[in-house]
Structure 1
Amino acid sequence: MDLADTLVADFDVIDLLHTLATRSTELLDANAAGIMLADQRGSLRVMASSTEEARLLELYELQRNEGPCLDCFHSGAPVARADLDAMLATWPVFTKRMRELGFSSAQALPMRLHGDTIGVLNLFRSRPGPLTESDLWIGQAMAHVATVGLMQERSIAASEQLAEQLQAALSSRVLLEQAKGVLAERTGLSMDESFHAMRRYARANQRRLGEVAARIIDGTVDAEALRGT
């Protein structure tokens, strides 16, 4: 599995998180997925998503301070509801926006290690209801692998160093969103297509996604050159 490949030195944190989001939709009965991580102040930030709709829903969840992801992060346990009515009763504002974006259910799995929750894996489905027990087990296992990947680097021996690495990833995420917009404007690609083009280019040229994003923004990498990657 691609996630296991991250258990080596010098892996790309942003690429790791997008791999988790993408593989979650391929292996589980989910139509979209997203990752949130806690920053140095303990506030959740959107870090990766498999689709633009998932990213928008996660941002909305944080803006309105309501949804399964927040409950999962604070409790450190998986969060789901049996059906749409139960979701509406628990998260009325979030659930309405979720339906507008084409989803009928959402649930969240904690990214935990040694009792600490550092983030959440969000799973969105076009059908109502939670994941099956087998999918839940697989999804949680994937979240655990990604969490270990984030924390395993030999240089990360203290929580302060982990916080610094996650903060660097947050900064790279900001550049990535800016670069997606630049690429979409210059090439006519969608936001999702722009991200995949950047990711293919980064892997083909053995570059980190954050570095590729910065080069797109400053013009060092020609946007048109990524259209055919």
Structure 2
Amino acid sequence: MNVQEDNVSAGPFWEAAVTRERQLTDAFAELTDTLVGDFDVVDLLHQLTLRCVRLLDVDAAGLLLVDRQGRLRPMAASTEQARMLKLLQLQDVDGPGLDCYRTGEPVTSADLIAGGGRWPRFAAAAQLAGFVAVQALPMRHRDRVIGALTLLRTAAGRLTTDELHIGQALANVATISILHQRGLERYEAATEQLQTALNSRTLTEQATGMLAERHHSDMDDAFDSLCVYARTRGLRLSEAAHAIVHSEHDIDQPPADDHSR
């Protein structure tokens, strides 16, 4: 049997492998493009969390960055729903993200129910939100850790070795992208860049909340509308958010099934 026949007989399995390979290529191309030009860090990291959900066997992803005071703060998430943001916020004092940031090593819990004593507050909140397993990966460049990528599952179990490698590679490229914008050689410049990114995220959260309240929509739909508004006008998310928060300007809410992120 020749190669072509093998491909045909493989059917959906072959197509799935090709699709996964293409998604990986697109993900790394998108991230590495930021190394040669200016970019929107809020959108970059949001896209990273969405890529994680698409490429890995996880149901949600969130990203934490450290601020000037050394506290972990939510930077991006695959969903803007309150349950996810609460889980990210908790990890400044209790959770896998904090352990991962402090040690610079991956942290895994294949079953939060069985291992709830390790992070009691986080485990309880995660279970309430429907998550029972977690993996945290360090955002690291050389000997510096700037945050953690948290991957959540609704079923108990661990990621495969290949998936862990992919997740860590995505986190590494995103880390380099963030630090590269202000110069890796200067600690102060890198710290300033991280704080700028966190400030942009705060502004984006405010705008999303305002849109959700105005249009009586959920946070994901409000965030979608903000993304569409920014893209159609050639703005960064932080610029679009500033227009919403600091003016009387409003934007049309997209249909609930318009997931154009």
TM-score of the alignment, normalized to the shorter chain, above 0.5: yes
Q: Percent identity?
A: 45
SS in 2 for 1:89: coil
1:213 aligns with 2:251: no
How far apart, in 2, do the equivalents of 1:151 and 1:132 lie? Answer: 29
Letter paired with 2:170: M
> 1:2-39 deviations in whole A, cap 9, x for unaligned?
22332232111111110111111011011000000011
| Residue 227 of structure 1: aligned partner | 254
Post-superposition offset of 1:86: 4.4
| Residue 224 of structure 2: aligned partner | 196
1:25 aligns with 2:78: no
| Residue 4 of structure 1: aligned partner | 32
Post-superposition offset of 1:59: 1.3
> 1:55-98 deviations in whole A, cap 9, x for unaligned?
12111333xx1110000000000000243344313112211110
| Residue 117 of structure 2: aligned partner | 89
Post-superposition offset of 1:220: 5.2
List aligned pairs for 1:1-229, cutoff 5 A: 1=27, 2-51=30-79, 52=81, 53-62=83-92, 65-153=93-181, 155=183, 157-219=185-247, 221-223=249-251, 225-227=252-254
Q: Which has the larger radius of gyration?
A: 2
RMSD: 1.7
SS in 2 for 1:88: coil
How far apart, in 1, do the equivalents of 2:71 and 2:241 lie? Answer: 24
How far apart, in 1, do the equivalents of 2:194 and 2:230 lie? Answer: 20
User: RCO (CA 8 Å, sep 6+): is it higher in 1 or 2?
Assistant: 1
1:79–1:107 Cα contact (<8 Å) kept: yes
Gaps of 5+ in 2: 1-26
> 1:114-136 deviations in whole A, cap 9, x for unaligned?
11101100001101122111111
Change (3 A) 1:38 1:102: same
Post-superposition offset of 1:186: 1.1
> 1:134-154 deviations in whole A, cap 9, x for unaligned?
111110010011011112226
1:13–1:150 Cα contact (<8 Å) kept: yes
Deviating above 6 A after TM superposition, structure 1's stretches of 4 or more consecutive aligned residues are none
Q: Which moved more, 1:147-156 or 1:46-55?
A: 147-156
SS in 2 for 1:198: helix
How far apart, in 2, do the equivalents of 1:18 and 1:47 lie? Answer: 8
Name the TM-score, length of structure 1 as normaliser. Answer: 0.92
1:8–1:153 Cα contact (<8 Å) kept: no
How far apart, in 2, do the equivalents of 1:137 and 1:78 lie? Answer: 11
SS in 1 for 2:115: helix
1:212–1:221 Cα contact (<8 Å) kept: no
